[in-house]
Structure 1
Amino acid sequence: MALVPPFNAETAHQKVKKAQDLWNTRNPENIAKAYTEDSIWRNRDKFLKGTQEIVDFLTWKWSKEHNYKLRKELFAFTDNKIAVQFWYEMQDAHDGMKWKRCYGLEDWTFADDGRMRKRQMSGNEIEIGEAERWFKDGVDVNSVEIGEEHW
């Protein structure tokens, strides 16, 4: 089944998990292939346009975010749009390798060929201790129970 608009509940969920798996590879060049050549992004305070800026941003991102593990969940969808809730953990190389977790939402808009043409991300980061980590080595990020009691 092709993961192109218009989305239904099944294809929207599959698209989210495919994006999650792709981002967890931390391979900027492969990730950028999932976006149109003129894709526009807002990632917190950064505004990007086009494949090269996406690759450059992701290369920079993972130069500082070590041991990155991400989980995405479908929040809502329409014909060519998907909203996603996400959580990721990483060690910040620019802050003494402290463990951090980011929570947030993304707003995605897709071209007819299934590549993303717009991505807007809003996230908040907190410092966590080793004992607070969810996505430890060997843990399937999809198996972690995430609820309000974990905030």
Structure 2
Amino acid sequence: MENKAPVPPFTLASAIQKVRLAEDAWNRRDPAKVALAYTPDSQWRNRTEFLSGRDEIQAFLARKWRRELDYRLIKELWAFGEDRIAVRFAYEYRDDSGQWYRAYGNENWQFDAYGLMAQRLASINDLPIADSERLYYWPQGPRPDDQPGLSELGL
């Protein structure tokens, strides 16, 4: 099996790198490519949905990004251990009526020896926001290096 670097055991630097790679992948919004970061039998809890395996993950992400328009995400390392990483995140999106939201959440990740995510547990809350309250304005795709992170934005 091919490694999905960085791989456990994580250091502070490799955990930060793993979080940024995940953020960049999700901001590209390619369900098939994002699903490859997970084990074939990966287990997810995302809000009220429980998913198992790459096919379900890919289908979930395709549905998500059809509903959550102009999606932009920032993740930040919260804590890490040998094969686990905890992150906090916030993302902004609008629905098809034009209402903007900021979703806040936490994720707990566990990785296999190859660096693939075997488990993802996510808790997420959506807050309707006015267009004037938006903070994420970079072009669609990965967040530019000069765009502030969550802490710098006061989130």
- When normalised by structure 1's length, the TM-score is 0.91
Are the equivalent residues in 1 in contact too, given 2:39–2:117 (CA < 8 A)? Answer: yes
Instruction: Map 1:127-146 onto structure 2 (within 5 A).
Output: 127-138=128-139, 140=144, 143-144=147-148, 146=150
Match of 2:79 in 1: 76
Structure 1 unpaired stretches of 5+? none
1:48 paired to 2:57: no
Please state whether the residue corresponding to 1:54 is helix, strand or coil: helix
Aligned-partner residue type, residue 108 of structure 1: W
- Structure possessing the higher relative contact order (Cα contacts under 8 Å, 6 or more residues apart): 2
Counterpart Cα distance in 2 of 1:50 and 1:84: 21
Most deviating of 71-80 and 128-137: 128-137
TM-score by length of 2: 0.89
Matches within 5 A, 1:1-151: 2-93=5-96, 96-138=97-139, 140=144, 143-144=147-148, 146-147=150-151, 150=154
Tell me if structure 1 keeps the 8 A contact 2:104–2:126.
yes
> What whole-Å deviation, never above 9, does each CA across 1:97-128 have from its counterpart, x for those lacking one?
21100011000000000000000000110011
Relative to structure 1, the CA distance from residue 12 to residue 147 in structure 2 (aligned partners, 3 Å threshold; closer, same or farther) is closer
Partners of 1:89 and 1:119 lie apart in 2 by 20
Question: 2:21 and 2:86 mapped to 1: Cα distance?
Answer: 14
Report how many aligned residue pairs link the two structures: 148
> Which consecutive aligned stretches of 4+ in structure 1 deviate over 2 angstroms post-superposition?
137-151
From the superposition, tell whether residues 91 and 142 of structure 1 become closer, same or farther in structure 2 (CA, over 3 Å). farther
- 8 Å contact from structure 2 (residues 103, 126) kept in 1: yes
What SS is found at the alignment partner of 1:23?
A: helix
